């Protein structure tokens, strides 16, 4: 109750000054994570009362399920064609190279990790967080093409990372159990069932919503509730049949558009309002987790965190953007602003929840905590200075530079 009371008071106080804080480097995730860290005097009492990680997990799962559905439902493939191939490069070459380079770095920094454990760590930290990068993607000083590329990348790479995580987890489990039957069964259930559950819920839900909308049966406020009920239904059904709730919600977001084109608009409005409450609660609890595990942090965890946010992210981005004609300033800007946040927290919790008890589980957990914590502060504090510096750099470019090219209507 102490935690809940402090969180509610903080939420009220932050809301009162939120517009003024938007002009500063103090992003909402920074404020709520710091508040969680500052709970350390009460940590003994919290642990004595029982710090239930399952509450943290389920809250984060709901947040990511809503986020995946929202990101997928607002994906307009026609629009992707108009903004060029930057997002495609980042989501294909960039993401695959990030996972590969993250595996190499994990094996070098943590020799105790197997190849598949290194893959698990790499995938957990591969997706970027649109929420942490909100200052970037909403700044008019950043060229539209760059903003949209980062926004689309962050919106889709979490959903694309989930199959890789499930695949590496299945391989790691199969190696321990000494058989391939569990691998095929796990992949079939998690991926196959997830796609089926998501497609059925998305297509059926979209068809029903579309018909109800055309007949004017749905009151305005309940349209958002009806749309948001679909990813929550994916969560419940997936738990019942052993499917991946994340795959299901992502597929449902893609398929719901077949019958209801406005699903993206309604889900975005809900996520930006009530979904934000869940995300801030996750960052608050994550701050408590940072302090709880503080004595266990190692130099290896900090080293991997630095590599993950720099070399592992920036080198693949630079390779993916070869041939686009973007200036070095743009390549560095896109490479640096790939913050790790909610998706990495949830994927890390999902991995731990499986109870696989792999030899490198502790190293993986600490590396994820340190990397996300470092990202929250490093990307938050560097956002405004980074935008100012980048704006000065691209102002010196000629009018024909790719950065200044307008998005086609």
pLDDT, mean of residues 301-320: 96
Residue 181 has a pLDDT of: 45
- Per residue in 384-393, pLDDT (tens digit) is 889 999 999 8
d(CA 30, CA 32): 6
Is the pLDDT at 317 greater than 70, yes or no?
A: yes
Bigger pLDDT: 216 vs 125:
125
Name the range with the highest mean pLDDT among 34-43, 231-240, 280-289. 231-240
d(CA 38, CA 35): 5
Q: How many residues can be counted in the chain?
A: 409
Q: Which has the closest alpha carbon to 236: 58, 19, 90?
A: 58
Helices first, then strands: H and E counts in the chain: 21, 0
d(CA 307, CA 301): 10
d(CA 110, CA 314): 21
- Per residue in 271-301, pLDDT (tens digit) is 666 667 777 888 888 888 888 878 888 999 9
Residue 176 has a pLDDT of: 62
Q: Are the CB atoms for 248 and 237 separated by under 8 Å?
A: yes
pLDDT, mean of residues 109-127: 94
Bigger pLDDT: 376 vs 59:
376
Q: Which two tokens stand for residue 101?
A: 């380079």
Name the range with the highest mean pLDDT among 3-7, 37-41, 52-56, 393-397. 393-397
Among the residue ranges 181-195, 246-260, 332-346, the one predicted with the least confidence is 181-195
Q: Are the CB atoms for 209 and 260 separated by under 8 Å?
A: yes
pLDDT, mean of residues 17-34: 81
Residue 299 has a pLDDT of: 94
Contacts of 325 (CB under 8 A, 6+ apart): 401, 402
- Per residue in 146-199, pLDDT (tens digit) is 888 888 888 778 778 888 888 888 888 776 655 444 555 666 666 778 889 999
Residue 206 has a pLDDT of: 87
Return the residue matching tokens 């404020």: 31
Is the pLDDT at 353 greater than 80, yes or no?
A: no
Residue 134 has a pLDDT of: 73
pLDDT, mean of residues 342-354: 83
End-to-end, the C-alpha distance of the chain in Å comes to 52
Bigger pLDDT: 245 vs 59:
245
Q: Are the CB atoms for 337 and 264 separated by under 8 Å?
A: no
Residue 286 has a pLDDT of: 87
- The CA distances from residue 239 to 59, 233, 244, 339, 344, in Å, are 15, 10, 8, 29, 21
Helix, strand, coil percentages for the chain (3-state, nearest 5): 80, 0, 20
Residue 258 has a pLDDT of: 84
pLDDT grade, residue 70 (50/70/90)? confident
Residue 183 has a pLDDT of: 53
Q: Are the CB atoms for 162 and 250 separated by under 8 Å?
A: yes
pLDDT, mean of residues 354-380: 88
Residue 263 has a pLDDT of: 67
- The CA distances from residue 29 to 168, 282, 299, 309, 378, in Å, are 29, 9, 25, 17, 12
Q: What is the mean pLDDT of the chain?
A: 82
d(CA 13, CA 77): 40
Is the pLDDT at 248 greater than 90, yes or no?
A: no
Bigger pLDDT: 26 vs 268:
26
Q: Are the CB atoms for 249 and 234 separated by under 8 Å?
A: yes
d(CA 364, CA 347): 12
Among the residue ranges 63-77, 86-100, 126-140, 353-367, the one predicted with the least confidence is 63-77
Q: Which two tokens stand for residue 375?
A: 């990202």
Q: Are the CB atoms for 235 and 62 separated by under 8 Å?
A: yes
């Amino acid at each position: 109750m102490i935690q809940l009371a402090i969180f509610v008071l903080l939420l009220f106080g932050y809301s009162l000054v939120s517009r003024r804080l938007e002009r500063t480097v103090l992003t909402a995730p920074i404020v709520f994570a710091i508040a969680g860290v500052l709970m350390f005097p009460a940590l003994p009492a919290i642990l004595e009362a029982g710090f239930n990680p399952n509450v943290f997990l389920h809250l984060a799962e709901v947040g990511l399920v809503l986020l995946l559905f929202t990101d997928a439902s607002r994906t307009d493939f026609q629009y992707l064609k108009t903004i060029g191939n930057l997002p495609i490069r980042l989501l294909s070459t960039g993401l695959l190279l990030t996972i590969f380079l993250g595996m190499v770095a994990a094996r070098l920094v943590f020799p105790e990790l197997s190849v598949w454990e290194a893959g698990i760590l790499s995938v957990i930290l591969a997706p970027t967080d649109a929420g942490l990068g909100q200052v970037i993607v909403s700044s008019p000083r950043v060229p539209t093409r760059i903003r949209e590329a980062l926004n689309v990348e962050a919106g889709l790479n979490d959903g694309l990372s989930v199959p890789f995580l499930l695949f590496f987890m299945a391989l790691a489990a199969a190696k321990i159990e000494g058989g391939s039957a569990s691998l095929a069964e796990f992949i079939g259930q998690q991926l196959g069932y997830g796609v089926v559950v998501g497609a059925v819920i998305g297509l059926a839900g979209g068809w029903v919503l579309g018909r109800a909308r055309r007949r004017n049966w749905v009151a305005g406020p309940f349209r958002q509730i009806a749309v948001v009920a679909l990813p929550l239904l994916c969560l419940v059904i997936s738990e019942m049949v052993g499917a991946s709730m994340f795959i299901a919600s992502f597929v449902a977001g893609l398929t719901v558009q077949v019958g209801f084109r406005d699903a993206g608009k309604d889900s975005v409005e809900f996520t930006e309002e009530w979904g934000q409450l869940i995300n801030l609660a996750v960052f608050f609890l994550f701050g408590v987790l940072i302090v709880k595990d503080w004595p266990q942090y190692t130099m290896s965890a900090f080293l991997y965190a630095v590599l993950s946010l720099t070399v592992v992210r920036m080198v693949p981005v630079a390779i993916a953007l070869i041939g686009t004609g973007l200036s070095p300033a743009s390549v560095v800007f896109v490479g640096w602003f790939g913050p790790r946040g909610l998706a990495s927290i949830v994927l890390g919790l999902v991995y731990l929840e499986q109870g696989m008890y792999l030899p490198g589980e502790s190293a993986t957990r600490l590396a994820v905590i340190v990397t996300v914590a470092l990202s929250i502060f490093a990307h938050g504090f560097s956002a405004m200075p980074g935008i100012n510096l980048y704006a000065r750099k691209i102002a010196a470019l000629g009018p024909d530079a790719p950065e200044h090219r307008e998005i086609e209507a």
